[in-house]
Structures are given as structure tokens and as C-alpha cells.
């Protein structure tokens, strides 16, 4: 890296970069902070300066985020692993909550899950999401707390089938998920000689009962549709998220990662997530997208995403998961319920294979949405 008077040769370019994204006062503070980091006696490599610019805590800070975007764009650094650090912290909190006598096995199991995730990424297969690993560790933590507090078991080798049955009986509605995690953990524990016998081996599973989640009635769908297409006071993000979930079964993950370039204004199509083909948009969806584009233009942002908030307008990152989860709160709706309603209607009306191809999903997973009850209103010749 070139150095001029003890300061990086790219500092002037960073000043221009920061000025384009922040007010002059904040940009000056950022440039001064980077200059101090470059002459504080530590390593002067861009990656090292970027690491030292990180603020402790959940957020890396505006300086670290802006510097990361610049250095990665200039191919001078690999960037920060902030999301990985946060995921590690969430996993560790779950492990630390387990009783001390049972904690080492939970810690080793957590490391096994993470290493399996990394192997899947290198192999190009579908790795477990961080959220899935955290939920799995949360159930193992709850099992460890139950065994220690309620069954006076302080060694995994002493756990029997009765202990696991008692644990599963605490939350009957979640028995399937808890049993799956318990089997996964004890298979791993048996393989690593932590238990001699797998106590979950002979436990009966619950037959698949199909989809049982909440859905919206036709009257509720019409009410929400009118709100998002006729009320000018509704926020553009609420209308976009609601309509895309209700009409096109779009998931929050897909909505967060929508870019401006994903919208084709000539053909009125939208590239969504892993879907193999662009999604044709109806007129109301096109109007919702255009409202979001106008809202984004008013923010004067360089963020490439379609949904840009006050927090992300100076960044290149997508809107937070929490924001997408609560953006429909004013309407009293949840995007996952809207999506389930649309998928259920599509699967019943069309072939699951056709729906899976259109949505980029596995047809086998959509079979659960098939019902053995037909709405009388759909039958011809009924009064």
C-alpha cells in the first residue's frame, strides 16, 4: 500500500466517497478518524485499519460501514464479518445458558453445526441458515436446563427415553420440531461416545398433518387489498411488502434483497430471489414498486436496494429483518400469513410442481399445503 506522509494514498478518494454519502461535517469526522487510525502505530494495511475502525457492540458503526464499502469496492480489503460475529454471539449466549455440567457437550455440538455449515458452503450445497442453528441450540439448551432442573440429570449418558418424553410433553404443539432436534443431538452424541444408547431411537414421530398455519379469509384479503391500493397515507414500503406477499407469495428474505435493477420497467417484471424466471407484475404491484422508487429517490440514497430506510440510506446493506417483520403492523397483518394464504390458494388451484417451478421451491414441500376439504363455494352446481 502506498503511504504519503504517514497517511494512506487512498485517503483522498475515501474523502470523496464519504462526502457523496454523508453531510460534509460527518465526512470530515470520518476522514479525520481514518487518518488517526493510519498513524496510531498499528498496522497500516487497509484490512487492519478497517478492523480497528469497528465499534464494539452489535453495530460496527457508521465509520466502519462506510470504510468497508469503500475498501471492498476498491478491492483493498475483504470487508468486515459483522453478521458472522453477531451470529457467533447469539450461539454463544445459548450455549452459556446451559447448565455447567452439560455445557461442554452443547458447546461441542454447536461447533459441529457450524463446521457442517462451512462444509456445505464449500461444497456448494444448501447450508443451514444461522437462524436454524440458533433455534437448534435453543432447543438443546432448553433440554439441558430441563434435565438438570427437573430430572436431576447432570450427565448426558444418564438420559433415558422417559426424560426425553417428559421434555417433549412440555410443549405438545412444538413436539415435532423438538423431537427432530433431540434426535439430531443424540445421534451426534452417540457417534462421539457421549452416550452409550440413543434415547430417542425408539420414540414415535408424529405423522405429517399438512399445513396448519393461519391464513386470511377472502374478506380480510379484500380489506387489505383496498388499503394498499387506495389509501394514499399508507407508507410505500407497507404497500409493496403487503401486495407482493399477498399476490406473489414473496418472502421477507426475498423482499429484503430486492434491488432497483431487479425491476424491469418496460416489461413490468421483477427478478425475485431464486425464482427461475422474472415475475410478471400486475398494475397494482407496478404502482407499489413505482411508489417505492419515488420514496427512494426522495431519500437521495446510493443504496442499491428497492426498500431503503432512514438507517440504510447511507449504506449499501438491505433493510433489517426487524423492519420487514413490523412494516405491516399498521395494517394488523403479517407477511408470512399473507404468503401462506397465497401459496395455499395456488397449490389447491394448480399442480404443486407448477407452483414449485414458479416460486423456486421444492414441490415436495408444497404438498403439505394440499387439503382434503373443499370449500363448498368452489363446487359447481351448489346453491
CATH number of the domain residue 237 falls in: 1.10.443.10
Does 200 map to a domain? Answer: no
* 327 pLDDT more than 80: yes
Does 236 map to a domain? Answer: yes
Instruction: Work out the average pLDDT over 265-280.
Output: 91
Q: Is there a single domain that holds both residue 105 and residue 228?
A: no
Q: Confidence band (pLDDT; 50, 70, 90) for 73? A: confident
Single out the residue of 34, 64, 33 nearest to residue 51, CA to CA. Answer: 64
* 58 pLDDT more than 80: no
Q: Is there a single domain that holds both residue 135 and residue 64?
A: no
Range name among 63-67, 183-187, 196-200, 349-353 with the lowest pLDDT average = 349-353
pLDDT of residue 194: 93
Count of CB atoms situated within 10 Å of the CB of 115: 10
Q: Confidence band (pLDDT; 50, 70, 90) for 377? A: low
Q: Confidence band (pLDDT; 50, 70, 90) for 376? A: low
Q: Show which of 191, 210, 227 is a domain's final residue.
A: 191
State how far the Cα of 71 lies from the Cα of 75, in Å rounded to an integer: 6
Q: Show which of 176, 191, 206 is a domain's final residue.
A: 191
Q: Is there a single domain that holds both residue 135 and residue 54?
A: no
pLDDT of residue 61: 85
What's the pLDDT tens digit per position in 217-254? 999 999 999 999 999 999 999 999 999 999 999 999 99
Instruction: Work out the average pLDDT over 95-108.
Output: 96
Specify whether the CB–CB gap between 211 and 368 falls below 8 A: yes
Q: Is there a single domain that holds both residue 232 and residue 337?
A: yes
Instruction: Work out the average pLDDT over 180-205.
Output: 91
Q: What are the Cα distances from residue 323, in Å, to 15, 235, 237, 256, 319?
A: 31, 13, 10, 9, 7
Q: Is there a single domain that holds both residue 121 and residue 133?
A: yes
Q: Is there a single domain that holds both residue 63 and residue 171?
A: no
Does 116 map to a domain? Answer: yes
What's the pLDDT tens digit per position in 131-156? 999 999 999 999 999 999 999 999 99
Instruction: Work out the average pLDDT over 302-307.
Output: 92
Helix (H, G, I), strand (E, B) or coil at 268: coil
Q: Is there a single domain that holds both residue 74 and residue 30?
A: yes
Q: Is there a single domain that holds both residue 64 and residue 98?
A: no
Range name among 211-215, 269-273, 366-370, 378-382 with the lowest pLDDT average = 378-382
State how far the Cα of 218 lies from the Cα of 342, in Å rounded to an integer: 11
* 206 pLDDT more than 70: no
Cα torsion 227, 304, 50, 64: sign? negative
**Cα distance between the two ends of the chain:** 80
Does 203 map to a domain? Answer: no
Whats the size of the chain, residue-wise?
383
Helix (H, G, I), strand (E, B) or coil at 53: helix
Does 265 map to a domain? Answer: yes
Q: Is there a single domain that holds both residue 365 and residue 233?
A: yes
Does 198 map to a domain? Answer: no
* 4 pLDDT more than 70: no
Q: Is there a single domain that holds both residue 227 and residue 345?
A: yes
Q: Is there a single domain that holds both residue 171 and residue 148?
A: yes
Q: What are the Cα distances from residue 282, in Å, to 225, 243, 289?
A: 13, 10, 11
pLDDT of residue 209: 62
pLDDT of residue 354: 84
pLDDT of residue 242: 95
State how far the Cα of 110 lies from the Cα of 96, in Å rounded to an integer: 11
Does 354 map to a domain? Answer: yes
Residue-averaged pLDDT of the chain: 87
* 381 pLDDT more than 80: no
pLDDT of residue 331: 93
- Could you tell me the residue range of the domain that residue 65 belongs to? 3-80
Specify whether the CB–CB gap between 68 and 79 falls below 8 A: yes
Domain count, the chain: 3
Q: Confidence band (pLDDT; 50, 70, 90) for 362? A: confident
* 207 pLDDT more than 80: no
Q: Show which of 80, 113, 141 is a domain's final residue.
A: 80
Q: Is there a single domain that holds both residue 364 and residue 259?
A: yes
CA atoms within 13 A on the CB side of 49: 30
* 165 pLDDT more than 80: yes
Single out the residue of 140, 89, 133 nearest to residue 115, CA to CA. Answer: 133
Place of cell 401459496: 343
State how far the Cα of 140 lies from the Cα of 340, in Å rounded to an integer: 29
* 307 pLDDT more than 70: yes
Place of cell 447448565: 99
Residue 212 C-alpha cell reads as 396448519
Single out the residue of 47, 51, 42 nearest to residue 71, CA to CA. Answer: 47
Does 196 map to a domain? Answer: no
Task: Name which residue leads in pLDDT, 22 or 181.
Answer: 181
Amino acid at each position: 500500500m502506498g503511504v504519503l506522509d504517514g497517511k494512506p494514498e487512498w485517503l483522498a478518494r475515501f474523502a470523496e466517497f464519504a462526502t457523496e454519502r454523508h453531510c460534509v461535517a460527518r465526512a470530515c469526522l470520518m476522514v479525520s478518524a481514518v487518518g488517526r487510525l493510519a498513524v496510531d502505530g498499528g498496522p497500516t494495511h487497509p484490512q487492519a485499519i478497517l478492523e480497528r475502525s469497528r465499534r464494539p457492540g452489535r453495530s460496527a458503526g457508521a465509520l466502519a460501514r462506510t470504510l468497508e464499502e469503500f475498501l471492498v469496492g476498491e478491492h483493498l480489503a475483504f470487508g468486515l464479518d459483522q453478521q458472522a460475529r453477531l451470529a457467533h454471539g447469539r450461539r454463544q449466549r445459548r450455549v452459556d445458558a446451559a447448565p455447567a455440567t452439560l455445557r461442554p457437550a452443547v458447546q461441542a455440538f454447536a461447533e459441529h453445526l457450524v463446521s457442517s455449515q462451512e462444509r456445505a458452503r464449500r461444497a456448494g450445497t444448501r447450508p443451514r441458515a444461522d437462524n436454524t442453528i440458533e433455534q437448534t441450540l435453543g432447543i438443546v439448551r432448553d433440554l439441558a436446563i430441563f434435565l438438570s432442573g427437573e430430572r436431576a440429570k447432570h450427565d448426558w449418558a444418564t438420559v433415558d427415553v422417559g426424560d426425553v418424553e417428559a421434555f417433549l410433553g412440555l410443549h405438545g404443539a412444538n413436539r415435532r420440531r423438538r423431537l427432530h432436534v433431540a434426535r439430531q443431538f443424540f445421534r451426534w452424541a452417540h457417534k462421539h461416545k457421549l452416550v452409550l444408547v440413543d434415547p430417542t431411537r425408539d420414540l414415535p414421530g408424529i405423522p405429517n398433518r399438512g399445513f396448519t398455519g393461519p391464513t386470511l379469509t377472502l374478506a380480510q384479503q379484500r380489506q387489505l387489498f383496498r388499503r394498499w391500493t387506495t389509501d394514499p397515507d399508507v407508507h410505500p414500503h407497507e404497500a409493496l411488502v403487503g401486495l407482493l406477499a399477498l399476490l406473489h407469495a414473496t418472502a421477507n428474505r426475498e423482499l429484503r434483497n430486492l434491488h432497483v435493477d431487479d425491476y424491469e420497467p418496460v416489461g413490468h417484471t421483477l427478478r425475485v430471489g431464486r425464482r427461475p424466471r422474472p415475475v410478471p407484475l400486475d398494475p397494482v404491484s407496478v404502482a407499489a414498486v413505482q411508489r417505492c422508487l419515488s420514496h427512494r429517490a426522495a431519500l437521495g440514497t446510493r443504496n442499491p436496494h428497492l426498500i431503503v430506510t432512514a438507517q440504510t440510506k447511507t449504506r449499501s446493506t438491505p433493510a433489517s429483518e426487524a423492519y420487514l417483520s413490523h412494516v405491516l403492523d399498521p395494517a394488523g397483518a403479517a407477511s408470512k400469513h399473507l404468503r401462506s394464504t397465497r401459496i395455499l390458494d395456488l397449490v389447491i388451484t394448480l399442480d404443486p410442481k407448477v407452483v414449485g417451478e414458479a416460486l423456486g421451491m421444492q414441490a415436495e414441500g408444497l404438498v403439505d399445503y394440499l387439503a382434503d376439504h373443499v370449500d363448498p363455494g368452489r363446487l359447481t352446481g351448489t346453491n
